Structure 1
Amino acid sequence: MSADQRTARPDATLGLILALLAGAAVSVALGVYGKIHEPQFFAVNVAGFSSPTAVKAWLATAVFVLVIGQLFSALLMYGKLPGLTAPSWTGVVHVWSGRAAVLLSAPVAVHCLYALGFQDGTARVYAHSVLGCFFYGVFVAKMLLLTRKGLPGWAVPVAGGLTFAGLTGLWLTSSLWFFQNNGLTF
């Protein structure tokens, strides 16, 4: 290890710790807001959909599809798909599909927090509330880690994996549940 790598390491460790603390703060802040906020039961609706819940289910499904693309492109960029080489445009697709996913997730999160709040009435709803807070916290940590140099090689992939796991749990406890109970209705 060179002297430059040794001197950069404490800074990278501090950056890792600060990113994790920021993510934890976001998770806690969302949970506290969701718990103390008086639910309004309505926040987002789009013409053509039967209900705000249908809007959320379909937007969250679009986000989930984009994030599956994120996982695939990340695996491709990191050389984790044997026999496949990432085309030069893979990074651009990864970044822009991530941006689109965040944009589409915003109205879903606003509706969940503002209209419903943090709820714990059933195991599914409680898990969904916890996963929502976790997802946005780990997302913030991942975005902050992307700007840091000298991090351990595992830091960004682990943050990305946790982001994917959180979103998968959110989709399973909301959209999949909605579709199982209501069909693929709009």
Structure 2
Amino acid sequence: MRPGPLVVAVALGTMVSVGLGVYGRVHEPALVAINVAGFSSGTAAKSWLGTAAFALALVQLGSARRMHRGGGRVAAGLHRWSGRAAVLLTVPVAVHCLYALGYQDTTVRVLVHSLAGCAVYGAFVAKMLVLGRPGGPRWAVPVLGALLFVVLTALWLTSSLWFFTTSGPTL
């Protein structure tokens, strides 16, 4: 893959991130959104779903490491399916955050969370676009995967971990 498609993938990912941020900023927060059955609140639901997505991101990290050491089809399958499940778990979280809360910058924690929330989907889009292109630079997918892991970790630290340490691990 020539540098052009990589630049296009990163540009499209950036546009997704900026688009989410703009929507979150201009949208009037509803302060309530969907609540997943079995959870006491939308915040509890997003904290637990975010924790499950973060746990799957750790599986992604381990399976990627194994794949790059010749782990074969089992590691590749685990990586693929844990990634799919992690992204699916983040969708209700993102809907809740964007619709109910919007993009906020009231504290440093909230600002970092808002920025990382926008960046996670941009990094995901860029990685998926590069992944499907044969002949690309060997470093592109691992670097974009690492970026995705870093922003998902930032999201978990600034939301789920914060929620559990301030409210306790309640459902």
Q: Contact 1:20 / 1:141 at 8 angstroms: preserved in 2?
A: yes
Cα offset, 1:87, TM superposition: 4.9
Cα shift at 1:12: 2.4
Residue 65 of structure 1 corresponds to 55
CA deviations over 1:41-62 (Å, ceiling 9, x no partner): 1112122211110000000000
Deviation string, structure 1 residues 94-138 (Cα, Å, up to 9, x no partner):
111111111111000010001100001111001100011111111
Q: Distance in 2 between matches of 1:14 and 1:113?
A: 32
- Two-structure CA RMSD over aligned residues (Å): 1.0
Q: Normalising by structure 2, what TM-score? A: 0.97
CA distance in 2 between counterparts of 1:21 and 1:87 reads 32
Contact 1:45 1:55 in 2 (8 A): yes
Q: Is the CA contact (8 Å cut-off) linking 1:12 and 1:148 kept in structure 2?
A: no
Shift of 1:67: 0.8
The letter of the residue matching 1:73 is S
- How many equivalent residue pairs? 171
Moved >2 Å (runs of 4+) = none
Residue 11 (structure 2) aligns with = 21
The one-letter amino acid paired with 1:148 is: R
Maintained 8 Å contact 1:12/1:149: no
- Say yes or no: does 1:168 pair with 2:153: yes
- State yes or no: 1:36 paired with 2:21: no
C-alpha distance in 2 between matches for 1:70 and 1:76? 10
2:115 is aligned with 1:130: yes
Cα distance, 1:13 vs structure 2 = 1.1
Name 2:130's counterpart in structure 1: 145
Distance 2:18 2:4 in 1: 21
Deviations 1:59-88 (A, max 9, x none): 000000011000100000011xxxxx6253
> Can you give the 5+ residue segments of structure 1 that lack an aligned partner in the other structure?
1-10, 80-84
